[in-house]
Homo-oligomer: A and B are copies of this chain.
Amino acid sequence: MHHKDLINVIKERRTALQVTQETLAELSGVGLRTLKQLESGKGNPTVSTLQKLGDALGLQLNFKVKTNQLTNETGESIV
């Protein structure tokens, strides 16, 4: 996943949970300005920023070995 896509997961999850940027900023400890910037498509967050946001939204960041198997959008095998 490109980092724009990772940010998009954050944004979609936040909106799905009907949480405002302001609330997510408070819950996660990430500055509101930073969150606004990221969600509007600017910047390249540090891993810790991404993790703070993910933690607050129940999302886990991880690495997975790429395979040549068919997978769904979460990288889970569908075979």
Number of chain A residues close to chain B: CB under 8 A:
30
The copy count of this chain in the complex is 2
- Nearest chain B CB to A70 CB, angstrom units: 10
Residues of chain A having any CB pair with chain B under 8 Å: 1-3, 6, 9-10, 13, 17, 44-48, 50-51, 54, 58-66, 69, 74-75, 77, 79
Q: Are A63 and B6 in contact (CB under 8 A)?
A: yes
Chain B: CB-nearest residue to A46: B44
Contact assessment for A6 and B47 in the assembled complex, using a CB-CB cutoff below 8 Å:
yes
Contacts of A48 in B (CB 8 A): 3, 44
A48 to chain B, nearest CB (A): 5
For A13, what are the chain B residues with a Cβ–Cβ distance below 8 Å? 65
